Structure 1
Amino acid sequence: MPAPAESLGKMMAEAPAALSAAMDQGGGDAVLQRHIAVRHALEVVLPADQIADAWKAVADTCAQLDCEVVSSSVRKALPDQPGGAELDMRVNPKDAPQLLGKLEAAGRVASHNTSSEDKTAQVVDVEAHIKNRTEFRDSLRALLVQAGASRKLSDVLEVQQALSQTQAELDSQATQLKLLMQQTTQQNVQVSFRPEVSLVQGRAANPIWSAVRGAGRVMSDSVAELITLLAILLPWFLVLLPVAWISRRLWVRRVRSRKPSAD
């Protein structure tokens, strides 16, 4: 059974704090700040004709909060497949309850799965790398502007090349750190909107009705195979019929021509 909107929202808002507290238990004197990436996957079930409106309403609610729509898609219903919609969002934990409330109002939350990943080691590693390369870059810059130093042109070019490579590494690491901070300071919410499946007068669950439908399919397949067989044999029939008729005429004529000689 889906949980109430308040319970789901509270769980989303408190997820990072609960995980960090559990990981900090039993630690030493120094408390290391935890960076936890929390993801939510929800499935919302509602009537097929309301999916597009619900998808737009949730996206508009995200735009009004500290929330970002990463990707979205809507599929129209076709004869061979049902319609649906997806939303991938990043939301600040403090705004998660309001977003969950909108989802609860849009339809029935059939499933809600939560997962987390500790990215503390990655964040610490990237920050340490940025610190070391920043110090190295500053030393290269100081070396280039050092007064009274006489250097060869090749030495200057070598220092500039090292400085350019170090700056490129810093830019790459800064981008990686930004992505890690986005993943750990915001919660990822993936929502799938699915149409309701209604049973018309219970016939879908009735074994007799299922057998009747199965018999209809078998009959249709048999008729289709018969039509295919006739389509294959008809050209041969049109060719062999005249040949058989001529052969029979010749045989009858030959038999009649032999009767007087036999008497």
Structure 2
Amino acid sequence: MKRALALLLIAAALAACGKKEEMAGEAAVESYGGAATAAAPAAEAGDAAQQVSPKRHIAVSHALTVETAPDHLDAAWQAAQQRCVEPQCELLSATLQRASDYTPGVAQLSLRIAPGAVAGYLAGLGREGRVVAQSTEREDKTDEVIDTEARLKNLAQLRDNLRQMLDSRNAKLEELLAVQKELAAAQAQLDAAAGLRLALANQTEKVKVDVELRAARSVAERSILTPLLDAWHDIGHDFIRSVAALLTVAAVLLPWLLVLWLPVRWWLKRRRRRLQLRAPDPS
């Protein structure tokens, strides 16, 4: 009886242990499954992040033609320059050609403006006269920016490696000189790449604006005969320029012709004298 009771206790203990191991196994499976389920969205998010396109670097440029009153051209040109205030605006060039007897006055400006200040600046130009022409161009500089940044990174790494080689105490003098030469070349290329990256940043982070201010022509100047008068004036200017070019060529060649003419004249006289000496005496 005691022996049977002991056997029953042992069997119950073994069954309890088997049940615990089964429950532990199921818990491990559920834990693994949950981890796999949680890892799946993370992997999908990583793939989505890799598929996101890089930041685009776009160079935007505007061109405007503004027609203003002839007596207001100079003031409009000055006002357009004064409206360009750093650091939001950078004036690249400004030219003014006042009116003559045959050509109306015209002024030109080239600027780079921060994107947020472009609308206000263009609105100010519209108040100076009538906008008769306007165009916008966009150029993608992303590939150039990515290539330049990769080149900068590689050149910086090369420069650092060469500097470490210079610090080596076991290197020979010839090796150090060669490394120093390569380091100077790498630094020069790095500076050039940095300048190119700065230029690209200036093109993509600011908007280029080209402005032409021109004086409005009167009704008489816009008559049907205006193209013929303009053509006649152009012909006269072209003829005068041709005559001026011809005089310039003559002034350049004349001294050389004189220098060459003297020895040629001397040679002709000498040749004529020899022929006279060789001629038979008629007597």
State TM-score, norm by structure 2: 0.60
Q: For 2:86 and 2:184, how far apart are their aligned partners in 1?
A: 42
Aligned to 1:204: 223
- Runs of 5+ in structure 1 lacking a partner? 1-26, 218-263
Question: Could you report, residue by residue, the CA deviation over 1:75-109 in whole angstroms, capped at 9, with x for unpaired residues?
Answer: 11111221110000000010011101110111111
Aligned to 1:190: 210
Aligned to 1:111: 133
Q: For 1:77 and 1:157, how far apart are their aligned partners in 2?
A: 63
- Runs of 5+ in structure 2 lacking a partner? 1-48, 233-283
Aligned to 1:255: none
Instruction: Judge conservation of contact 2:104–2:217 (CA < 8 Å) in 1.
Output: no
The CA deviation at 1:198 is: 2.1
Q: 1:176 aligns with which of 196, 216, 225?
A: 196
Aligned to 1:122: 144
Amino acid at match of 1:178: L
Aligned pair 1:164/2:184, yes or no? Answer: yes
Aligned to 1:79: 101
Question: Could you report, residue by residue, the CA deviation over 1:130-180 in whole angstroms, capped at 9, with x for unpaired residues?
Answer: 10011011011011113xx32221111000000000000000000000000
In the TM superposition, 1:26-175 aligns within 5 A as: 29-63=51-85, 66-146=88-168, 149-175=169-195
Aligned residues: 180
> SS in structure 2 opposite 1:40?
strand
Alpha-carbon distance change, 64 to 168 in structure 1, aligned in 2, over 3 angstroms? closer
Of 61-70 and 184-193, deviating more is 61-70
Alpha-carbon distance change, 185 to 61 in structure 1, aligned in 2, over 3 angstroms? same
Amino acid at match of 2:219: L
Question: Could you report, residue by residue, the CA deviation over 1:13-63 in whole angstroms, capped at 9, with x for unpaired residues?
Answer: xxxxxxxxxxxxxx9722310000001010000111111100110110112
Q: For 1:136 and 1:191, how far apart are their aligned partners in 2?
A: 44
Instruction: Judge conservation of contact 1:65–1:95 (CA < 8 Å) in 2.
Output: no
Kindly report the root-mean-square deviation, in angstroms, between the aligned alpha carbons of the 2 structures.
2.1
Larger Rg: 2
Instruction: Judge conservation of contact 1:45–1:109 (CA < 8 Å) in 2.
Output: yes
Instruction: Judge conservation of contact 1:70–1:89 (CA < 8 Å) in 2.
Output: yes
Runs of 4+ residues deviating >3 angstroms:
none
Instruction: Judge conservation of contact 2:152–2:193 (CA < 8 Å) in 1.
Output: yes
